[in-house]
Each structure stands twice: as structure tokens, then as C-alpha cells.
Amino acid sequence: MSKTSDLAKMIDHSILHPTMTDGDLKKECEIAKKYDVASVCVKPYMVPKAVELLKGTDVLVGCVIGFPAGNSTIDVKVFETVKACKDGAVEIDMVINIGKALQGDWEYIENEIGAVTGVSHELNAIVKVIFETDYITKESDIVKLCQICTKVGADYVKTSSGFGFVKGDDGKYSYVGATIPNLKLMKASVGSDVKVKAAGGVRTLDGLIAVQEAGCTRCGATATVTMMEEAFKRFGK
């Protein structure tokens, strides 16, 4: 596999913005096919159409669960996961209950991640667990979440949803997403069978390479065209 192909197969092409239509889905799936990325990550109702659009390609279909704020009950997240898998998703990106994590209710978090992971694996899908590190900022909490994900057998730990906006004192919202220190911490805190996915704020080829060097094997991205065209220029096809 070439350097460019290797980078492409890190990318989960995100098709998640609330305003995206079926027309946008078709356009973005064409981009995913063109660059032969690892997967598309879509909204739940889009799964059947994405499966249809990507039939016969090596691009997998992933679906978000409890997205973007993670506030659904465990039963609802499980139901949503079953529906997504039966519709054809083979990768599940779930958002944890952020409030429960912040209050240190680790039993709840373990039950939640374990329930979604269990049903996903029964239905032959892998699970990526979204921590939302713009909200979960304490290193000790990130480490604890990594330990729980390792214990219950989740496949990936993931930084962000892409929508974890923090409201400042001026009333304006800001967002950071994946950072190299958090990615390195997550990589160091999971078991050998758990991988790391960067998501949020990675918009350039250099950014993609940086998260790869930090230990990530997947990266959520909307700037796929920008990154891949630069890769073609720098490394060839």
C-alpha cells in the first residue's frame, strides 16, 4: 500500500452536519469512493442509502449513536445501534453520557459502553466510543474512560463528535476537537486491542500525519478532498 493509500484508509469521511440532505449524501459518498477512504460516518436515517451508494466498493458505512450530545438512555442507544446495524452499518460511533462521566458515575458509563459494544459485536459491527474531550477535560477522566473501554472490549476510543461547542463568557461558542496531547494520553491508556480515532479539527494533510504519528489509525474528517489532493502532490498515488 502506498503512503497516500495508507493515509486514505485512516479517514472516516464525516457526513454529519444537520443541514446535509440526501443530495449531499450522494455527493459526499462519491468523494469517499474517489479517494477510497476507510469509511463514511453518517446520520442514522442515511445508513440504508449510504450502503446502496457504496455497494461494490471498499468503503465501509458507519453510523453515529446518541449523537451529538450523548443524552439518550442506554436502551435507546442500544435500539439505535441495532437499527443501524440491521440497516447495514458495520461501524458504530457512540457518544457517551457526558454528564455521567463528569460526575464520576463510572458504573453507568461501563454499563452504557458495554451494552452498545455487546450488541454491536453480536451484529458484526465495531464500536468507536466518543469521549467529547472539549467537555471531558481532566486527564484522570480520560484515562478512566480508556480503562472502561478496554475492559468492555470496545474497538476504538475517539476524541470528539465534531459538535462539542463550549460557550464562553462572551456568549460565543468555541471548539477544539482532537489534540495531540489527548491522543497520546488515550493511546497510552488503552489496552493493546483498542485503537484510537482522532476527530474534530483535523483539516490538513499535516494534521492527518500528526495524528497518525500520535498513534491514531482512524481520523474523522470533512476536509477529505483537501487532505487527499495534497497527499497526491506530496507522495503521488
CA angle 212, 214, 216 (to 5 degrees): 50
- Report d(CA 64, CA 82) in Å as an integer: 12
Where in the sequence numbering do the catalytic residues fall? Answer: 93, 158, 197
Contact 85, 65 (CB under 8 A): no
**Residue 143 CA, distance from chain mean position:** 18
**Residue 2 CA, distance from chain mean position:** 24
Largest CA distance in the chain: 50
CA atoms within 13 A on the CB side of 209: 11
CA distances from 103 to 68, 99, 144, 159 (A): 19, 6, 13, 19
Residue among 1, 5, 62 nearest 37 (CA):
5
For residue 167, what are the β-bridge partners?
Answer: 173
Contact 81, 116 (CB under 8 A): yes
Q: Strand 11-15 to strand 39-42: parallel, antiparallel, or no bridges (unpaired)?
A: parallel
